Amino acid sequence: MLDNFRRFQAGPDPFGRTWEVEFRWLQTGISIRHADTVDVKFIVWLNGPEGAKQEMQERVIAMLHPALLQLSEESGHALTDPWCTRLAARHLAYSYESGEDLEKTLIQAPLSALRRAAGLAQAA
């Protein structure tokens, strides 16, 4: 399971590519989108030949605050910024490996995905 959530590699994706991912920020969605979410932004680069970075992309993982509260209660883990960032990084890595939501800049992580990211259950 992903341990370093600030800088990591995701993939390979369904096309065999690996991606370099870097954490940028965490903030509440209410401040930018009037949404009851915790948003975590990452910058993602496609690893090109000889380690050259190509195709920079932005990805924001949006996690519903009520789902995070429920997961916190289920897991017994305090709802902290580092924990939210770790969950978002794990969900982003899963998105690249599975091919889900690769075309989206804003990726919503439902409770089932957060449970998977926390290691509590497999998402349906």
Sign of the torsion formed by the C-alpha atoms of 101, 104, 110 and 116: positive
Note down the domain range covering 63: 9-116
- Residue range 89-100, pLDDT digits in tens: 999 999 999 999
3 occurs within a structural domain = no
1 occurs within a structural domain = no
Q: How many domains does the chain have?
A: 1
Give the residue carrying structure tokens 């998402």: 123
Question: Strand runs (DSSP E) across 1-94, as ranges?
Answer: 7-10, 19-28, 37-47, 53-64
57 occurs within a structural domain = yes
103 occurs within a structural domain = yes
- Report residue 99: phi and psi, to 5°: 85, 0
- Residue range 18-73, pLDDT digits in tens: 999 999 999 988 877 778 999 999 999 987 666 666 778 999 999 999 999 999 99
55 occurs within a structural domain = yes
124 occurs within a structural domain = no
pTM over 0.85: yes
Mean pLDDT over the full length of the chain: 89
